[in-house]
Amino acid sequence: MRKEIRIAGTGGQGIIFAAIVLAEAAGIYENKYVTQIQSYGPEARGGASKADIIISDQPIYFPQTQELDILVCLSQQSLDEYVKKLKEKGTLFIDSYYCKNFNKEKIKTYAFPFSLVAKEKLGRELFANIILLGSLARFTKIVSIESLKKAISHRVAPQFLAINEKALMLGYEIDQL
Amino acid sequence: MKEEIKNYLRLDERFPHILCPGCGIGTIANILIRTFNELNLDKNNICLVSGIGCSSRIPGYIDCDTFHTLHGRAIPCAIGVKLARPYLKVIIIGGDGDILAIGLSHFIHAARRNIDLTVIIVNNYNYGMTGGQVSPTTPKGKFTYTTPYGNLEEEFNIYEISKSAGAIFFARSTTYHVTHLKKVLKKALTKKGFSVVEILSQCPTLYGRLNRLGDAVKMLEEFKNRTIDISLIKEPGEIPSDKIIIGILLDREREEYCEKYERLRKAINEKRD
Amino acid sequence: MRQLLSGNEATAIGAIKAGIRFFAGYPITPSTEIAEYMARELPKIGGVFIQMEDEIASINAVIGASASGMKAMTATSGPGFSLMQEGIGYACMAEIPCLIVNVQRGGPATGLPTKPSQSDVMQTRWGTHGDHPIVVFYPYNVLESFYLTVKAINTAYFLRVPVILLTDEIIAHMREAVELPEEVEIYQPKRKKKSPEEFLYYSEETIYDSEVAYFGEGYRIHISGLTHREDGFPTNKPEVIKRKLDRLKRKIEDNKEKLWDLEYQDIGAEVCLISYGISARTALEAKYIFEKEEKRALGYIRLKTIWPFPDKPLRALLKSAKKVIVVEMNQGQLINEIERAISPEIEIIGVQRYDGEIITPEEILAVI
């Protein structure tokens, strides 16, 4: 079972960090084969940013995604650009705070205002990346929430752990907000 | 020759040397080892680093660790040596072309970092080893084989470069002023930090001949007549414009790089404990 | 302990495990993470990190430190690697071991800083002026980035040569879950038995695995980039010059068999894929897709050692092959070397790509 996942948005939204946490949750805490690669432009902030994760039971050779199983978009631009890479039976996650134009009918779509939730519940938009990971765990079961928690506690400085865990759970229960 | 001077020379097979008759570099090598002797430096703790050029051949005759590197790259190589073995006295010898043309960026960055190195710049106003071409210190209007109609460019002032880049010591001397030269070399070698000694040296074979400056003796006389020691200058305005100032032009203190790095290492480890 | 690491991180960790204590470098995408790791870690373990003013200064500082007994390395990418060439030649001539990591990006010139390429494989061999062989290894995943870094460093110090580790933007930045060993085997240069009076830095008694002295040990050595005698001093004598250059050649020639490292599968098949680095991962994927669809085997050879070129093992492995497909991200570099090595009876074609995108399995399947 090879699952191809892309997280895309704008530089500064923590796209690559989210991808690393997801890869670590699957690769370290669930013993799966993983590769994580990213593409980036010359800008440190503001440019398009995308990160791909492949999770598999078998060794992964070709490390590039070809047909996405899961696409997560945190910007309208990334949604417009990558939605055609999604498999017919793939799953789309969008940040409805930034993505206004989308056709929900053909594709299985989860639209939540991750950035807005982050801003309103945690005071800062930059937690949107962790919130979306919580939602991914809940709706796709690609990794467990426990593994994500472990990965976050490994990657985040102790003083920011509580708020990141809170973000993760906000995402996990986002449909109940 | 005194035994204690011989002690610093590689006498077997290395002589006779490759320098032209009348060249100033022999004088400089002579004064350098006399300086080592008077400072009582252990030859096992000296590393002489040079690039490519006439003066870069000096280390080969001296019996200590010697490192003949690429053209222009003596300073970065010396930085590697010094950081790996901070207890070594690391001295760079090079010409005006080697250090101020191809190697200039290394020179100013080493000064900025204030790494404990002494750079001896043998300024003979031209590229000698390649046969007399213009260098960054060739005075305007002077003739070389690549300025056959006279040099159009202005020359560098090594003192100003050293000072603004952050060197802690700069002295200028000449191959005529041998006692003076020894005195400033001694001072430079006892400073902790980036020190520079510029030595005006005659190249009678090329620069001297191309500019009709006479033989080595005439060129040395010119050094004698055209220079004035900074200690004799009371008012800055009173120096005639054709005079070259010699002596210690810059002497200041600034924390040295290797010491700072060692302190950083200690601090990191204490924090971890 | 299983951990998620990038190729650059694995290289940096491997380097420190293999004894690297000095790093001089200059920031350049996509190699910079190695410098950043070293800046953080080396001062903790008594090592030295310094960011130099350019890549020329970096390689020369590395040479100075290595000649003083600190195992030393640098890391760079295309433009910086070009600037380092003269220094690499110096390290060959002066016999100063060091590691140079070149994380390949697209070129020429500034090219594609953030995209992978394999267009420096011939530069690693022929980048400097003058005659001398070179050792180059090329990993294809994160774990191997660690192990080949260790091997590169041990090789450098065993042979007293600069060794180049080639990687590419994908191998360097890709993260994988790996388990690294706590300790690795480290080659330590032989202790000196001779006195300073008898010791010769370039003694002809041994040409590798030699006794070595460093600056600051009272041996008063002379190290030079001029063609030199056993004692390091320059020579113009034809027989001494030839002996010196033969020595540089023999170091690597004599150890070829040990340096050659290839991975292969199903070499009895009629068609065989040959690749290295990131492109080998595509080749392997193509092999499995082909076998699943066609129900017959497809040969696969991956070069971990690029130089010295493994001509003899390749010839032996391809005895029964009819067709060879060389997969590489350039306009065709190693394909020429492979063509020279194997039987002229074998058909050889290349799958090449140099637009910043990695080769896909479909592009390989299309030519089988």
Quick: pLDDT tens for A98-122: 999 887 778 899 999 999 999 999 9
E strands within chain C? Answer: 2-6, 22-25, 48-51, 72-76, 98-106, 112-116, 135-137, 162-168, 175-179, 222-224, 262-265, 271-275, 299-303, 305-307, 323-328, 347-352
CA dist., res. C274 & res. C309, Å (int):
13
pLDDT bucket at A45, cuts 50 / 70 / 90? low
**Disruptive mutation site among B83, B93, B104, B264 for chain C (greatest number of C CBs within 10 Å):** B83
Domain boundaries, chain C: 1-259, 262-365
Whether A41 has a pLDDT exceeding 70, the answer reads no
Write out the two tokens for B164: 């603004």
Flag if C57 and B80 touch (Cβ within 8 Å).
no
Q: Has domain B3-272 been given CATH number 3.30.70.1150? A: no
pLDDT at C202: 97
**Tens digit of pLDDT for each residue in B9-58?**
999 878 889 999 999 999 999 999 999 999 999 999 999 999 999 999 99
Matching residue, tokens 């991962």: C281
Q: What is the pLDDT of residues B82-138, one digit of tens each?
A: 999 999 999 999 999 999 999 999 999 999 999 999 999 999 999 999 999 999 999
CB contact under 8 A, B83 and C48: yes
What ipTM goes with this model?
0.97
How far, in Å, CA of C14 to CA of C165, rounded? 12
Tell me the mean pLDDT in the region B231-250: 87
How far is the alpha carbon of A163 from chain C, nearest alpha carbon, in Å? Answer: 23
| pLDDT-derived band at A139, boundaries 50, 70, 90 | very high
Q: In the predicted model, is pLDDT for residue A134 greater than 70?
A: yes
CA atoms within 13 A on the CB side of C271: 17
Higher pLDDT, B191 or B237: B191
Q: What is the pLDDT of residue B175?
A: 98
Q: Domain-by-domain residue ranges, chain B? A: 3-272
Distance, C-alpha C273 to centroid of its chain: 22
* pLDDT value for A77: 94
pLDDT of A103 reads 79
Judged against a pLDDT cut of 70, whether residue A43 lies above it is answered with: no
List B133's β-bridge partners, or say none.
B127
Which residue of C lies nearest to B115 if distances are taken between CA atoms?
Answer: C50
| Chain C residue with the nearest C-alpha to that of A33 | C177
Spatial separation of the C-alpha atoms in residues A25 and A147, rounded to whole Å: 5
DSSP string of C202-240?
T-TT-SSS-B---TTSS---EEESS-B-TTS-B---HHH
Cα–Cα distance measured from residue C171 to residue C6, given in angstroms and rounded to the nearest whole number: 8
- Give domain limits for chain A: 2-176
What is the structure's pLDDT at B108? 98
What architecture is the C262-365 domain classified under in CATH?
A: 3-Layer(aba) Sandwich (3.40)
Q: Which residues of C touch B79 (CB under 8 A)?
A: 24, 50, 52, 57, 61, 64
- Alpha-carbon gap, residue A28 to B239, rounded angstroms: 75
The reply to whether residue C176 touches residue A39, judged by beta carbons under 8 angstroms, is no
Whether residues B80 and C68 touch (CB distance < 8 A) is answered with yes
B-chain residue closest to C57, CA distance: B76
pLDDT tens-digit map of B143-173: 999 999 999 999 999 999 999 999 999 999 9
A111, A127 contact by CB (below 8 A): no
Q: Which pLDDT score, from 0 to 100, does residue B240 have?
A: 77
What pLDDT sits at residue A106?
80
For chain C, list residues with pLDDT below 50: none
Which tokens hold the place of B72?
């222009």
Tokens 């070389």 locate to B144
The pLDDT score that the predictor gives to residue B273 is 75
8 Å CB contact of A34 and C2: no
The CATH class of the C1-259 domain is: alpha beta
Single-letter amino acid, residue A72:
V
Average pLDDT, chain A: 94
Q: How far apart are CA C74 and CA C58, in angstroms?
A: 7
Pairing type for strands A86-95 and A108-112 reads parallel
CATH of domain A2-176: 3.40.920.10
Q: How many CB pairs under 8 A join A and C?
A: 58
pLDDT confidence of residue A11:
87
| pLDDT given at position A44 | 60
Contact C30, C9 (CB under 8 A): no
